Amino acid sequence: MSREDIKKMKELDEAAEKAGGFTSPVSADDIHYNYREISRYCKEKGIEPIDMTIRELNRFVVE
């Protein structure tokens, strides 16, 4: 994963937080994403990570 991909995901996380985020039983500090799979998914769908829905993003949470 490139630094640019990580930067885009950070921007996504910050945008979600500014928009009110979402309720999760897990502390935000404990949520980790599989950025490699997110990048692959976005390339397949032809979208940018920032355009993912919360539902799509939740598919890539690493437990």
**pLDDT class for 28, splitting at 50, 70, 90?**
low
Say how many domains are in the chain.
1
Domain that holds residue 35: 3-62
Q: Residue 18: what pLDDT? A: 74
pLDDT at 54 over 90: no
Dihedral of the alpha carbons of 49, 47, 20, 22, in degrees to the nearest 10: -80
Higher pLDDT, 17 or 36: 36
- 3-class DSSP state of 12: helix
Query: Burial code of 21-53, b = ≥16 C-beta within 10 A, e = fewer?
Result: eeeeeeeeeeeebebeebbebbeeeeeebeebe
Helical segments of 1-63, H only = 3-18, 35-45, 54-58
The mean pLDDT value for 4-21 works out to 76
